[in-house]
Amino acid sequence: MIRQAAYRVGSLWRPTLGYSGVRTPLVLLSSPHGARLQSTATARPLITKAPSDSYVEKYFPFSSDNALRARYTNQFGGIRFGLILEDLDLMAATVAYKHASHPEDPPERSVIQLPSVDEPLNKEESAMILSKKKDGQITDPKAAEKMAHLINSKLGPMRIVTAAVNRIELYEELRADMDLRMRGWVTFVGSTSMEVRILVDTFPKDANGNTSPTARNIFIGLFTMVARDKHDVAVKVNPLVPQTDVEKKWYALGLENKASRQQLAASSLERNPPTDAERALMHQLYLEDHAMQQQEKQNDGSDPRSGYVYMDQTQYQTTVLMHPQRRNIYHKIFGGYLMRSAFELAWNTAILYCHARPLIRAVDEITFLRPVELGSVVIYEAEVIYVHAEDPKTVQVKVEAFNVDAKTGHRTRTNEFHFTFSVDAPYLKELMPRTYEEMLKCILIIIRDITSHPRYLR
């Protein structure tokens, strides 16, 4: 039986979150503008907690639940990773909420349901949408007051926001015949931020179809959650004290991750000119571009492997109207839906570059810069920014989301996404930048690979 899995960390066993039988999971505290706590949370004393206090797990019995498998299966017989991203986002917010909660919180605030895509808007919600001006703010004071009361009566004025998805790393392909177990903890806490670690396991089957009681980890995810009050001011969260050796290791990794992020931010090429080493990389890219141009002149077209693709030739975009059916309980667009939409565009971009099926291997970084309002017109723009043409062949795709004012055409960047795909193809053409900005994008990928990935997860 799946629920008899032998692998557990310390005392981290808690009652499970069963599959609810609908597309959206039973428990929501969604991002990017997710859970809100009791209004007295900022005044009451903080409570020291252990990682086990925030533990949440959820099962996905794909091998036995035909309806569940049908909803998640892609055209290749695998699992739609975009839908898994939605589930990860929900779990990260739920875990963070459990850590930030207080014994005085009423029980009805411990489980919140994400509005179903089939659920109609009530009167207050309709009034709120109709009262918005172009920047998404409510202009009718009565509608604003009603909406504030509606939200605060459910969860209170403190909210937990997904600031970033630091890293998700997959070790094998997700197949639709796998049973998955998703487990999450808060494993590091700053003053107002929380690092949520999510492990996803599967349960191997033998030749007779019997399920092993021992789980095998197939991917890991790290989310950064921050606490804000109703004025978007940072709020302190409960401190964390690790108990077991594994928890202490995770906490130490959290410290390293925080220092690594700060170092990368301080040395960002958007703030500082390139270093000598980075300028050398740019010159190397220039020389490679020049050599490939000379080779292309000599190519008679008989060798399909020859040649290269310029970065600006890999750009694709899609435009989406954000319907209220994709809202979270705070009447913003659900962050998991934004991630799924970006991933699907990234996958399309990768397959059009590779001309072969790409497999998702990592989500390198996702940042939530500002909320996306209901009714917004959002443009997703994707491009290939790095290619490793030798084995193992990989392609990295960057996606940016922009909120567009339909009247003025003004664009505001709301999200940035990075995805890495592996490709089993006979060959990949080299990717070449030809502008200073494109060279910087390539260098940033190389720097991120060298400095940050190993310490995030291990």
* pLDDT > 90 in the chain, percent: 42
Q: How high is the pLDDT of residue 132? A: 56
Q: How high is the pLDDT of residue 25? A: 35
pLDDT, mean over the chain: 77
d(CA 343, CA 337): 10
Q: What is the mean pLDDT of residues 77-103?
A: 92
pLDDT interval class at 448 (50, 70, 90) = low
Q: What is the mean pLDDT of residues 341-353?
A: 97
pLDDT interval class at 119 (50, 70, 90) = low
Q: How high is the pLDDT of residue 102? A: 78
Q: How high is the pLDDT of residue 110? A: 47
Q: How high is the pLDDT of residue 40? A: 42
Beta bridge pairs of residue 175 = 78
pLDDT digits (tens, 9 = 90+) for 187-228: 999 999 999 999 999 988 777 777 778 889 999 999 999 988
Better pLDDT: 223 or 125:
223
Token pair for 269: 């090429």
The answer to whether residue 389 scores a pLDDT higher than 50 is yes
User: Distances from the Cα of 159 to the Cαs of 30, 194, 237, 371, 385, in angstroms?
Assistant: 10, 13, 11, 13, 35
Q: How high is the pLDDT of residue 290? A: 63
Nearest to 54 by CA among 111, 14, 95, 13: 95
pLDDT interval class at 144 (50, 70, 90) = low
The answer to whether residue 129 scores a pLDDT higher than 50 is yes
